[in-house]
Structure 1
């Protein structure tokens, strides 16, 4: 019993010390981006608060947890404080790349939607979102995830403004959209992020994406950067094959003999390995930038081994690649879904209740910082528990960001202030009730005014 208690105490000390070093190391990377000490401290407190708060987080719940008397400091930080948001993001992205390593690098682009209750929020409109499972009132943002053999995390994002939003000067002014921000499609936003990643030093990588990003324009931009790609395409996608002309990808199945299908593992499920049948067909590239060699372009076909459901992917790389490498590139796209789940569930990416351009970008940045800390911290814990040269195999799954956060809330992170200070909890209870009373009265007065105007 004594030995077990000593082992637990030692592990708690390691977790605490490792987290402190990780947190201070990242905060030090972008400290110079803040001209004022107060703003820098608010950033630290907000990132900690995002990890401390278990329920839905906004400026009110974060301020209560970290010990502020009201939400005004955080609201000022998100909307009006002077610091270079993009300089901070670039520093965090560079730190994340260094920590996750440059082995088997993949850049994954995908969008996610956050449900909204009104059209006042920047970019909010009735539009399709896979996160909502259809069309709904939401904000949609395109994200870039950095995936390596060691781990993965979000490193960039772009808020999508629909054509109506981008053309509405009054709404743009109300929420502070910069004049230089014009309408751009999701593939164009993805291409901008990929170019930024390349400019920051990520020169060798695969790019993966779903069907939204399978158009020729983005594929040409990816090739111009020197990246290979593995991108899903719809069944209506047309390709040109050597000696057979242009046809839909579904028509290529006629050229695939039974012996050409290969059964390959695409991942591990909770109950068994995931196995699919795959076929690879050479096609002529249609996206070569001027002066670039043709390279090697294929269509990958994935077939469910029980239902027969088919999926199609366009791939390209300057060098010939075996089908196992191409299949791995396709399957690793799902890491971005894990990042969305973690950034939302653990770091509150989707609960900010922010309405303006600057505040949306700063809230999403703070959430990305918090999740990057968890992703890298989980990697360090896995490396510590299973050194590269160790033969020790414990009967446990590796530490995940979710599991690490549970440990941090016990061993390293401060407890929310309202859990330890009754006077603070009472102060916030009174503040919330006063605010709710004023808000209700204002809504009633406004409804009376509009009712008279309509009559």
Structure 2
């Protein structure tokens, strides 16, 4: 595989790897922690299908108990390490990238691993026993992919069980329920001061369905391109709500759209409407090496609060629709400026797919989903170390002399 190294590769880069580890000396602390960090990263990078502690330790020829202690009990702060990793990203990144919000699922057999519950598991494409980790990534204009932050999502069944959380070592400050989107915004607040200027935040329909998230991003003036499901609604851009005086009784408190011809349409409804205007659809090339393209159309709309009694129009947005096949469509909403070209909306909407490829490498090559421990600390340590291994490989590939090419 492209990211995995033979023993010969590791011998040639061992000094570089230890130098990379020393950049985190202040965060890792004592020299033996830095030593075991180097060993763990070497084990993640080495060829081999199983990246859990015992086979990893055997592969690099070290004591598995010491490695176990480094990952599961050692008190180094994974947040501090990720903070420094973001600082390193600033030396490689330039303004003009995108932030990608995503989550990744780690299937589990038992029920004792921290945060494990029956929930949607993207890795399996169904409801299953798994952990779910909320993540942020940077994707640069030149293709730089850099993981930025990660935190385990705790389902309500966990936050309602304090003894269970305590046994798993969940810190007191984290022993409260937060929806994934709120957890994501907390992480964004934490890391934003370190980030270069970005064009947009992009995310899939799992987050796009959360209208509260879109509204909060608009409130914070954060640009976004969100994939959304077909049942989300939007008003026409021309819809205007007015406060019509009541003929009797108490004064009206909510404006309503008086024009009976104006009403919100679901994304599917907009699709059917726009398919009646084939001249508005344009063939747009996708940001892919194979030169693939897609039929797309974009129109200005307004947010629809379908749950509201009055359903007034809300914030102005772009609605982007892509036709991928005769019966296959994808829908996106965006708060980018009204003058944004269609091709730019399509380009940004597709930036997220590079992160899917990155997750494939993190799992298949670097063992992100191989961790067998049960604790909060151990899981976050392992995820952080996988991010370090990924970013070390990124740095190697960007250098003029990379042993991976040998």
TM-score by length of 2: 0.82
Give 1:255 deviation, angstroms: 4.5
SS in 1 for 2:369: coil
Match of 2:147 among 149, 154, 157: 154
Match of 1:282 among 300, 303, 328: 300
SS in 2 for 1:220: helix
**1:373 aligns to 2:392 (yes or no):** yes
Question: Are 1:203 and 1:227, in contact at CA under 8 Å, matched by a contact in 2?
Answer: no
Give 1:164 deviation, angstroms: 0.5
| Mean Cα deviation higher: 188-197 or 341-350 | 188-197
1:64-213 to structure 2, matched below 5 A, reads: 64-68=58-62, 70-99=63-92, 101-150=93-142, 151-181=144-174, 182-213=176-207
| Mean Cα deviation higher: 176-185 or 188-197 | 188-197
Q: Partners of 2:199 and 2:188 in 1: how far apart?
A: 10
TM-score by length of 1: 0.74
Match of 2:228 among 215, 224, 233: 233
Could you report, residue by residue, the CA deviation over 1:183-229 in whole angstroms, capped at 9, with x for unpaired residues?
11121222222222312234433111111111232223333554311
SS in 2 for 1:92: helix
Match of 1:263 in 2: 283
Residue 30 and residue 84 in structure 1: after superposition, are their counterparts in 2 closer, same or farther (change >3 A)?
same
Question: Are 2:204 and 2:227, in contact at CA under 8 Å, matched by a contact in 1?
Answer: yes
Gaps of 5+ in 2: 1-8, 240-261, 306-313
Residue 317 and residue 22 in structure 1: after superposition, are their counterparts in 2 closer, same or farther (change >3 A)?
farther
Match of 1:223 in 2: 218
Residue 20 and residue 105 in structure 1: after superposition, are their counterparts in 2 closer, same or farther (change >3 A)?
farther
Give 1:134 deviation, angstroms: 0.9
Residue 51 and residue 17 in structure 1: after superposition, are their counterparts in 2 closer, same or farther (change >3 A)?
closer
Could you report, residue by residue, the CA deviation over 1:421-441 in whole angstroms, capped at 9, with x for unpaired residues?
xxxxxxxxxxxxxxxxxxxxx
Residue 158 and residue 301 in structure 1: after superposition, are their counterparts in 2 closer, same or farther (change >3 A)?
same
Question: Are 1:26 and 1:92, in contact at CA under 8 Å, matched by a contact in 2?
Answer: no
1:416-455 to structure 2, matched below 5 A, reads: none
RMSD: 2.6
Q: Partners of 1:204 and 1:20 in 2: how far apart?
A: 34
Q: Partners of 2:43 and 2:11 in 1: how far apart?
A: 19
Q: Partners of 2:71 and 2:323 in 1: how far apart?
A: 47
| Mean Cα deviation higher: 25-34 or 134-143 | 25-34
Match of 1:316 in 2: 335
Q: Partners of 2:337 and 2:322 in 1: how far apart?
A: 23
Q: What is the number of residues matched between the two proteins?
A: 362
Question: Are 2:300 and 2:338, in contact at CA under 8 Å, matched by a contact in 1?
Answer: no
Match of 1:299 in 2: 319
Q: Partners of 1:225 and 1:31 in 2: how far apart?
A: 36
Gaps of 5+ in 1: 1-14, 288-293, 385-403, 412-455
Provide runs of 4+ in structure 1 moved above 6 Å.
15-18
Q: Partners of 2:16 and 2:343 in 1: how far apart?
A: 36
Q: Partners of 1:21 and 1:125 in 2: how far apart?
A: 41
Q: Partners of 2:315 and 2:83 in 1: how far apart?
A: 32
**1:340 aligns to 2:332 (yes or no):** no
Q: Partners of 2:193 and 2:219 in 1: how far apart?
A: 13
